């Protein structure tokens, strides 16, 4: 055998040849490697889908083609984003196999109007890669596009990024704009539930960044809604960020300029605190790691203040550094760059080298002029920098003294510390435990080789309000510094010398425990931030329930897990009997319960929409017992259809009767106020205008009803049949031991099973760690094989910084607003 033949034989043995090579294109590539396009598939990536769609609407606003953006979290968990812009083009593209432009934009990578500077977008935009909207389509279970342009409404549907329903003309309209509705694919995202507050924060940010743009958000699931509109833009952004602080001067410094096609917009204001709070954006994208615009701003700020201070003879003994001038600084830096260079699709850092010089030039010129015109403000800023420099020198000496004496980091370990024997950083853990009682249980139950315990007495000092000297003098905080072995303001080198690999916060699950945990997180955020940056800080997640069944005890982590367990317990000794004599038990009953469980959410969605299941089942269900998916209002008349083809045929007949195209009733995507929209709806109703609603949850309901038919279960079994001879009818009965529970419909099945499952159990909902003995504490919260830990990260340091300021700062009003807004969201309040 030749060498070449031997080589080929060896390659075949390894199973690696040309058949293993795959070329993934477009949608398939995105679905295979979603993290490359949206960062990850966690909740962060999930919300990034909405941001990608909204960014396209913002680009329309930035280029003066739109003024209103609406975001709606629908009752079925999908999201609708709409604007009053020009609408995505729908014309045929000969060079793209004669496909409509709308289809190309939604299915092809690097397709969009951002690449054509002549007729598309002239101002720097956020979605420059042409990947975002295609990624949203690819990662969605389904997506519907509705475009208003050229006097008509056009629609197109997709399934998992692939075209399902081609471009259709729905009716006529005098409006323009784009509406995208999508539902994230549950096979890609572990959690597909959007968080209202997360979306609200980003949308408010976008409204600040784009002065005059009106952004509305509402959540059909809860009824929450907000509207953001800021005519002063960044000035109001800085005012918002400083709302928890005492400002050094009232006027907010606003810097604007343009150089070499790069637009610079910056607002600045100092407060009397010591923390720097600077947000950087390029083309509306938040650059959490800063970039060249950030470094350019810093350099110009230092140079301008230094120049004024020297000119005013304020810096006689020594000149403060840039860090000193940034103490108490709140600023928002935005640039619009024609061709930005970001680090990756998630755009965390701006890399354009030319931007640094441009920002420096603009800021230096405008700031110098401002200081000349406002010497009082300039003097306050300069003197604050001088005081910061003096305090920095004093703090430096104090830290050096602390380091030399080793008072906080070496020797003299806290008296209460129960240390571990091992000194290996990779395996050791320090538990900061609330209370001496829980500390004693943790000490007894721990693995003393690798786990150390430091009990904390009561609430530690609120470091958000305290000077460094006071922080260092606090006994509980001093004990934490000593135990961890890291000095205040620790740098990376200090962190590598810490005494334990993991720092774990373990507090009660009540109000006081949450408060102590927040205080501890504030402390680490302010004085040991590198520990958080390097992923060393964790929060223990003790179980919510202890379940006692006879002599057996087990623990359940969450409410959902507890509910599922109760159903499983009930199934072990139950059957379900239908009035026709059919009995479901064993594996068949388990499968039936799984299907009914899957129906809980979509049927609940119908309830939240205000649609009565029995009404549409009796009046509009198909012959084979399925629900119609499409609802049409023509004026005030209601019609239901099971398919788009059936609906299209009906609309065609209606237009033939009228001799004209149907007028589309516009929703909030139009450019009216909410009051105007309500008036228009009445006018549309009188004129017989067309409203079409696609009830997406009915797809899921019908799929599950098809499966349930195999068990002899039909749509009528999910609503109450009423009365017979004046008595309620109960078609189903759960037999559990000697007990029988009658059901009027199968929507009562799961709640009844949970009630049955709870009998004979003792459920204890934990509030305090002190309720657990040492063995329980080990089993539930300390055993590395069983416990659940939540790692504290810095992915959203700006958001963490703001919430600490709101909850821990001196100003009361923002805290009151926060409490009032979230009061109704509180569950299991411990009072």
The maximal CA–CA distance of the chain, rounded, in angstroms, is 100
Q: Edge-to-edge strands of the sheet including 262-270? A: 253-259, 262-270, 329-336, 277-282, 285-286
Give the span between the Cα atoms of 424 and 46, in whole angstroms. Answer: 38
Cβ atoms within 10 Å, residue 635:
14
Q: Is residue 512 among the annotated active site residues?
A: yes
What's the distance, CA 791 to chain centroid?
A: 17
Give the span between the Cα atoms of 786 and 187, in whole angstroms. Answer: 27
Give the span between the Cα atoms of 716 and 360, in whole angstroms. Answer: 71
Q: Is the dihedral of CA 285, 289, 292, 296 positive or negative?
A: positive
Cβ atoms within 10 Å, residue 14:
8
Would residue 150 be called left, alpha or beta, if left means φ above 0 and alpha means ψ between -120 and 50 degrees? left
Q: Are strands 545-549 and 429-434 parallel, antiparallel or unpaired?
A: unpaired
**DSSP conformation letters of 171-228:** EE-S--EEEEEEEE-TTT-S--PPPHHHHHHHHHHHHHHSTT-EEEEEETTT--EEEE
Residues in a beta bridge with 820: none
Give the span between the Cα atoms of 38 and 52, in whole angstroms. Answer: 9
DSSP 19: G
Q: Is residue 694 among the annotated active site residues?
A: no
Give the span between the Cα atoms of 70 and 674, in whole angstroms. Answer: 11
Q: How far is CA 647 from CA 632, 641, 642, 694, in A?
A: 8, 6, 8, 11
As given in the structure block, the two tokens for residue 238 are 């800085």
Q: How far is CA 656 from CA 175, 649, 653, in A?
A: 23, 11, 5
Residues in a beta bridge with 257: 264
DSSP 73: E
**DSSP conformation letters of 688-751:** T-EEEEE-THHHHHHHHHHHHGGGT--GGGGS---EETTEE---EEEEETTEEEEESSGGGHHH
Residues in the chain: 831
- Determine contact, residues 625/715, Cβ cutoff 8 Å: yes
- Determine contact, residues 341/293, Cβ cutoff 8 Å: no
Intra-chain end-to-end CA distance of the chain, in Å: 84
Give the span between the Cα atoms of 501 and 804, in whole angstroms. Answer: 26
As given in the structure block, the two tokens for residue 372 are 């000349």
DSSP 780: I
- Determine contact, residues 343/289, Cβ cutoff 8 Å: yes
Among 227, 510, 585, 758, the active-site one is 510
Q: How far is CA 639 from CA 431, 691, 696, in A?
A: 62, 10, 16
Among 52, 55, 434, 530, the active-site one is 434
What is the chain's alpha carbon radius of gyration, rounded to the nearest angstrom?
31
Among 354, 365, 390, 512, the active-site one is 512
Residue (of 259, 199, 265, 206) closest to 66 by Cα position: 206
Residues in a beta bridge with 154: 147, 169
**DSSP conformation letters of 320-376:** --HHHHTTTEEEEEEEE-SS--BSTTTT-SB--HHHHHHHHHHHHHHHHHHHHH-HH
Cβ atoms within 10 Å, residue 265:
20
What's the distance, CA 648 to chain centroid?
A: 38
Among 141, 327, 508, 779, the active-site one is 508
Give the span between the Cα atoms of 773 and 433, in whole angstroms. Answer: 14
* Catalytically active residues, by annotation: 434, 508, 510, 512
């Amino acid at each position: 055998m030749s060498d070449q033949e031997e080589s080929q034989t060896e390659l075949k043995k390894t199973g690696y040849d040309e058949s293993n090579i795959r070329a993934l294109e477009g949608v398939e590539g995105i679905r295979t490697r979603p993290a490359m396009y949206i960062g990850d598939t966690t909740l962060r990536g999930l919300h990034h889908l909405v941001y990608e769609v909204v960014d396209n609407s913002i680009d329309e606003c930035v280029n003066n083609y739109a003024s209103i953006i609406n975001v709606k979290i629908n009752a079925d968990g999908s999201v609708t984003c709409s604007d009053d812009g020009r609408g995505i083009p729908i014309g045929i593209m000969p060079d793209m196999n004669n496909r409509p432009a709308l289809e190309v934009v939604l299915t092809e990578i690097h397709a969009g109007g951002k690449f054509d500077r002549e007729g598309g977008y002239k101002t720097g935009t956020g979605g420059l890669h042409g990947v975002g909207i295609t990624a949203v389509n690819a990662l969605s279970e389904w997506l519907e596009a509705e475009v208003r342009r050229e006097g008509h409404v056009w629609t197109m549907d997709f399934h998992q990024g692939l075209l399902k329903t081609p471009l259709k003309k729905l009716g006529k309209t005098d409006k323009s704009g784009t509406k995208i509705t999508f539902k994230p694919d549950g096979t890609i995202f572990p959690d597909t539930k959007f968080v209202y507050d997360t979306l609200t924060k980003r949308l408010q940010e976008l409204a600040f960044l784009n002065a005059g743009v009106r952004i509305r958000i509402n959540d059909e699931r809860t009824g929450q809604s907000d509207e953001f509109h800021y005519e002063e833009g960044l000035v109001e952004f800085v005012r918002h960020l400083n709302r928890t602080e005492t400002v050094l001067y009232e006027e907010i410094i606003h810097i604007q300029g343009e150089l070499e096609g790069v637009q610079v917009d910056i607002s600045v204001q100092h407060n009397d605190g010591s923390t720097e709070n600077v947000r950087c954006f390029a083309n509306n994208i938040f650059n959490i790691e800063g970039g060249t615009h950030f470094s350019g701003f810093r350099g110009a700020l230092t140079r301008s203040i230094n120049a004024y201070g020297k000119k005013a003879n304020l810096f006689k003994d020594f000149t403060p550094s840039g860090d000193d001038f940034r103490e108490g600084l709140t600023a928002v830096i935005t640039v619009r760059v024609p061709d930005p260079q970001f680090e990756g699709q998630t755009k965390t850092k701006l890399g354009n080298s030319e931007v640094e010089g441009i920002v420096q030039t603009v800021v230096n010129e405008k700031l110098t002029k401002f200081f000349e015109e406002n010497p009082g403000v300039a003097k306050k800023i300069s003197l604050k920098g001088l005081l910061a420099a003096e305090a920095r020198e004093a703090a430096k000496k104090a830290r050096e003294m602390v380091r030399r004496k080793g008072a906080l980091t070496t020797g003299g370990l806290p008296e209460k510390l129960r240390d571990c024997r091992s000194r290996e950083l990779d395996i050791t853990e320090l538990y900061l435990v609330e209370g001496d009682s829980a500390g004693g249980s943790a000490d007894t139950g721990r693995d003393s080789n690798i786990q150390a315990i430091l009990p904390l007495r009561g609430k530690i000092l609120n470091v958000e309000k305290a000077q460094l000297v006071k922080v260092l003098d606090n006994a509980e905080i001093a004990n934490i510094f000593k135990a961890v072995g890291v000095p205040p303001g620790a740098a990376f080198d200090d962190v590598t010398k810490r005494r334990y690999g993991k720092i774990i916060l373990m507090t009660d699950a009540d109000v006081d425990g949450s408060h102590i945990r927040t205080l501890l997180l504030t402390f680490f955020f302010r004085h040991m931030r590198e520990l958080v940056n390097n992923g060393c800080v964790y929060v223990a997640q003790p179980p919510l329930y202890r379940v006692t069944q006879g002599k057996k005890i087990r623990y359940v982590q969450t409410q959902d897990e507890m509910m599922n367990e109760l159903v499983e317990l009930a199934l072990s000794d139950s059957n379900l009997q239908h009035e026709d004599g059919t009995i479901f038990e064993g594996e068949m009953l388990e499968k039936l319960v799984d299907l009914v469980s899957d129906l809980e959410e979509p049927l609940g969605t119908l309830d939240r929409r205000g649609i009565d299941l029995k009404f549409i089942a009796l009046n509009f269900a198909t012959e084979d017992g399925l629900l119609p998916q499409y609802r049409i209002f023509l004026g005030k008349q209601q019609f239901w259809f099971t398919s788009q083809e059936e609906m299209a045929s009906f609309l065609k007949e209606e237009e033939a009767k009228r001799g004209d195209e149907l007028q589309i009733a516009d929703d909030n995507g139009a450019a009216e106020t909410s009051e105007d929209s309500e008036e228009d709806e009445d006018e549309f109703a009188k004129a017989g205008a067309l409203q079409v609603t696609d009830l997406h949850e009915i797809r899921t309901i019908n799929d599950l009803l098809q499966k349930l038919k195999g068990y002899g279960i039909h749509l009528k079994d999910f609503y109450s049949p009423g009365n017979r001879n004046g008595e309620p009818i109960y078609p189903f009965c759960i037999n559990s031991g000697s007990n029988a529970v009658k059901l009027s419909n199968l929507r009562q099945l799961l709640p009844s099973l949970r009630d049955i499952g709870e009998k004979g159990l003792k459920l204890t909902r934990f509030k305090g760690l002190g309720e657990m003995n040492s063995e329980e504490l080990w089993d539930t919260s300390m055993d590395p094989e069983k416990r659940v830990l939540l790692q504290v990260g810095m992915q959203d340091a700006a958001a963490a910084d703001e919430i600490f300021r709101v909850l821990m700062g001196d100003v009361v009003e923002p805290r009151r607003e926060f409490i009032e807004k979230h009061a109704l969201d509180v569950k299991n309040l411990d009072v």
